[in-house]
A and B are shown apart, each in its own frame.
Chain A
């Protein structure tokens, strides 16, 4: 698990270095886990349908004007002083990037 994460992270870095914005795609199995996590665990604050709750809506229209890197940083590091916690223990940076990209285009079911 950890090794896979590190490997994925390293691969992500390589790809980032090589191809600008391209990031490593999580494996299909991991993508499934990430979708479940966002809908269920992020959903406890942002709503299962991501229309917002204690935390703001994470729908494409709500995120459209926001730079992706900032959103990735929010997910990884949280926002101190607010209820948004840091997720770096559970998400690698490239996974957060994948989540943000999916959020911005409409999150899978």
Chain B
């Protein structure tokens, strides 16, 4: 496979070389056609430790890279030049990929059990969040050399799983401690000596997000009805509880998969958040943080994602409703589309300006592409048990 790709690459390069003059010659002689990365991205193939590199303009895959270890629950951040992807694997592998040369440039094993990572405001530090041993670790974004770590020891000898890691302005990272019930903010101004502030948050925060402007950090709570909100402009005020008791004391429905939060949940001046144990999307005003509405949906929401223009919210669901996707119109607050993209829909990603959305259907081994205006399928790609889809437009966003 590798050799075939390599040969194809060589042939393509030769043709391009012959066809036009715009090539850069790397040290060592081989040449790469000049191109930007703004319309590139990658798809995680969770079962086989591969990623497929994709082009959102041609809607095609252009390379496939293996050897990335256990990629179940893998996540990806991009360097600020949007050329390199950092892939955080479940097994603690941290792999740096070059999207242009379609190859692994570096790889380290950083922990036993990881669930994601983030990159600093200045792009120099990548940070991994770990379940075991619980804590975060900071690496040099160039060399992947370990710089420092913050163990999530919330009480003497007790370590927490870390969730919801997000970069925030000031080369800081905010994250939540599932077992410790706290939000921590670590300042990496001196990357080798991070300084951490702790804020009690509530029972079992399961994930977190920072708003697109970098001001508010929200941690969804599993063990309580509500969301913990920290104003990073005035953290000394501590955590405020929003959407408190949204379950109204009613018994929760079972949650067969934890929802995911990220800064894409803010649109049209409101935050759109998955309810836990309820088939609802909760809506809060993003300045007063008061609940303004609830939208009934088909199942327990997993991803609640705003389109880049904020007009639509696309929602997928936990098992057993994971064959559905629903679209909420943010103007009317109504569900306007119900789609069946395939079996076991795991993730959705908008193209940079949102004319299309790519959806992974794990058990169909397929990525399905929809037009966001007509809701028609406009393409599809084969991929082995695809999960996360990550486009380079994330490189320039706070909290991605």
Contacts and interface: CB of A to CB of B under 8 A. Distances in A.
Contact of A40 (B132, B223, B254, B344): B344
Contact of B115 (A36, A53, A86): A53
Contact of A83 (B46, B204, B362): B204
Nearest to A109: B47
A54 B319 contact: no
Given A41-B256, A41-B257, A85-B256, A48 B131 contact: no
Contacts of B90: 47-49, 53
Given A48-B70, A53-B115, A41 B47 contact: no
B255 to A, nearest CB: 6
Contacts of A45: 257-258
Contacts of B256: 41, 44, 85
A54 B319 CA distance: 17
Give the interface SS of chain B, mostly helix, strand, loop or mixed.
Answer: loop
Contacts of A47: 70, 72-73, 90, 113
A52 B258 contact: no
B257 A52 contact: no
Contacts of A40: 344, 362-363
A41 B344 CA distance: 10
B323 to A, nearest CB: 13
A49 B320 CA distance: 21
Nearest to B203: A81
Interface in B174-206: 178, 204, 206
A40 B47 CA distance: 9
A12 interface: no
A9 to B, nearest CB: 19
B161 interface: yes
Nearest to A78: B254
Contacts of B70: 47-49
Interface string A60-79: 00000000000000000010
Contact of A48 (B72, B115, B254): B72
Contacts of A89: 320
Contacts of B173: none
Contacts of A86: 254
Interface of A: 36, 40-41, 43-45, 47-49, 51-54, 78, 81, 83, 85-86, 89-90
Interface of B: 46-47, 70, 72-73, 90-91, 112-113, 115, 131-132, 161, 178, 204, 206, 222-223, 254-258, 319-320, 344, 362-363
21 contacts: A40-B344, A40-B362, A41-B256, A44-B256, A44-B258, A45-B258, A47-B73, A48-B46, A48-B47, A48-B70, A48-B90, A49-B91, A53-B115, A53-B131, A54-B131, A81-B223, A83-B204, A83-B206, A83-B222, A85-B255, A90-B320
Closest 4 pairs between A and B when the two form their complex, measured CB to CB: A48-B72, A85-B254, A44-B257, A41-B319
Given A41-B256, A54-B178, A83-B204, 5 more contacts: A47-B113, A48-B47, A49-B91, A53-B73, A53-B131
